[in-house]
Amino acid sequence: MATIKVPEISSMATIKVPEISSMATIKVPATVPSPAEDCDQLRKAFQGWGTNERLIISILAHRTAAQRRAIRATYAETYGEELLKSLEDEISGDFERAVLLWTLDPADRDAQLANEALRGWNPSNRVLIEIACTRNSGELFDVRRAYHLRYKRSLEEDVAKHTTGDFRKLLVPLVSSYRYEGIVVSGKLVKSEAKMLHEKITEKAYNHEELIRIFTTRSKAQLIATINHYKNEYGKPINKDLKSDPKNEFLAALRAIIRCTFCPERYLEKVIRLAIKGLGTDENSLTRIITTRAEVDLKAIETAYYKRNSVSLKQAIKGDTSGDYKAMLTALLGHDDA
């Protein structure tokens, strides 16, 4: 049984649901049934001796975040029960987790994932970095609001509680920053901060407050310009200089921030590749990336995956998953032939 905390729909109503992106993979029908019609069909999927899992997929995997929110509100009003609770009672396993995470509002989903990462915190966990660096400032602000509504504590408070030392110094400002999203870059800062980064990295002062400040507060455009200048000025990519000790998890975290900032689709492709690679599948990581990026940039991640592995993401997932879980993931990829 998946442990997805069910938020009150009314409490999430003030958090904006993002528009679907042109790089999204989900397929929404040209004519979408009303929320009442979708709720009626979902209720039918739950009735009888067996659950109609494919009917659940045919509806929820083909609705936008705004449409799923409307379905949840209508379902609660019509049947006096939260849709997520009904789903929990009817389905199970990896399929259940994928459906529940997908059905949540994006900000609420990220709040859930952040809380899970913190409760099971270890230095190799990159989920907080993934959320903080692949969402824009407005989206991250909404995650913090959703976290506060869900857990009655701030995200920053829980990050400080569950992490220690250098990770606390890095992650608290990372999740609480509201970065500038524009394209304006200061050339003067690019030069001075590239120089500062090189000095601190050369000194192995990886936890220096100025290095952390640059990594956690500068806009994406400013940070990219600084990192590019670093390479041009000092002859080596900064990530190579941050690999002096491959087993150092703090350095790995700094490299993850840079990769998420520079090319998030390549970073997320690697998360999926590592989730599928080997004898066992890391279903949690695979589910997280597919459900959080299907409305955002999963097309770009698919392209990066094929370029890196010479096999489509669809084929990789079909070969490594099974049953309703496979059907749900491939539907979110825009395919219904699982």
Q: Which CATH architecture fits 35-91?
A: Orthogonal Bundle (1.10)
Burial 100-115 (b: 16+ CB within 10 A, else e): bbbbbbbbbbbbbbbb
- What DSSP string describes 209-269? HHHHHHHHHS-HHHHHHHHHHHHHHHSS-HHHHTTSSTT-HHHHHHHHHHHHHH-HHHHHH
CATH topology of domain 106-176: Annexin V; domain 1 (1.10.220)
How far apart (Å, rounded) are the C-alpha atoms in residues 114 and 333? 24
Note the pLDDT tens digit of each residue in 113-163: 999 999 999 999 999 999 999 999 999 999 999 999 999 999 999 999 999
Q: Which CATH architecture fits 187-262?
A: Orthogonal Bundle (1.10)
Is 2 strand, coil or helix? Answer: coil
CATH topology of domain 264-332: Annexin V; domain 1 (1.10.220)
How far apart (Å, rounded) are the C-alpha atoms in residues 314 and 305? 10
| pTM, entire model | 0.93
Return residue ranges of the chain for CATH 1.10.220.10: 35-91, 106-176, 187-262, 264-332
Helices 249-262 and 264-276, interaxial angle, to 10°?
120
Note the pLDDT tens digit of each residue in 165-221: 999 999 999 999 999 999 999 999 999 999 999 999 999 999 999 999 999 999 999
